[in-house]
Structure 1
């Protein structure tokens, strides 16, 4: 496997008005999540939160956004044009977006049976997109064909304060439904996923939306493909059950229908 190092220079303002330049070597991951820049990881150090202090959830039934990672990637807006060429992983004759979309569609069907409104979103999130739950569905890839398992992550900064709870429910249910092992190697790319960077992009998720990015399995692993490609309903069941459990705990969905 070839290891690539990317040199990033970051200007820093010092006392007295001088500017120093820091250089950082960054090793890209081979995860299915697209590579992002350092600015995607952290909001500005001013007070970006003031407009959300009195925020209240809009009235209405529960709403869920399921993003099929890399789907319609060529249609990304100019502010995200650097990601247009990133088509994700592939394996078994399938492109990643096809696998992600198939899982998202079955997940939507399952959630609809509980009266949950679901948007299936392409690579481009709507401007300032809000929902009770946002899950970015992806599939991993690696030059090491033995790598297997799923992993999930929350944004590095979670203003909703609820993403960790959502993550826990999805992980628990995903393991039960798919029997895939949990891969602990969550990457910087996942925590800094571009759709989470509301302080940088208009096309991003509203900061009060509990959000998770899920790498459903490795498309480059034959065993994982038997789940995420051949039986997408298993992945969908894990995702849907996790979301339903979360919405029940938030009292956005009655739990007497189980």
Structure 2
């Protein structure tokens, strides 16, 4: 409890336009509740998967993508401690009244001092489809594991599909594998969300899809930092050409 309260108090000091403001916490009947600013448009997943919600055009999606990247860069590099979110996914991205993205739900977040080694945990937390493969062996949540989850989030927003989908009762399909296969065939744009039609800049979409693959690389050292991700998204740095290596992500999902 003391550790939880200490981390809540620390996270409550975070101030960034793309992070939902934590107002406090409440313990009631054995439950621990975190209290945040109200976000009138709810979570992003509603707009991606609920067909009764308005469809997001590409400009809105791209601004959301950049907003989340900006918030993560602040968590990783812009505060006095390193904050690892550990649960980046569309349902944890909240939208304010102007459809600006705010990263929320810090219930699994971990903090550690710079120049120190993240602590090992015996419990791997997060959501299947966003969990980096090295977490199972090292047990250490790092900025690189957040980048991996952000890669899945990028593909989710661009493709309008969840990172892990069941196509048959005994078959589970990884979104990143599907995008990777299409990229190898020279047809990466075929993975874009059909609801977008052809109403998007192809070069920008291709960059986002390839960046999603790069962030989802199974080798942590091959993933870019969030600072470099922001440079790619802002057009300040060109995305490097991806090499045709035999990546396979399916093994990160336990049977």
TM bucket by the smaller chain?
under 0.3
**Comparing both chains, which one has the higher relative contact order based on Cα–Cα distances under 8 Å and sequence gaps of 6 or more?**
1
Structure ranking higher in helix proportion: 2
TM-score by length of 1: 0.25
Structure (1/2) with the larger strand percentage: 1
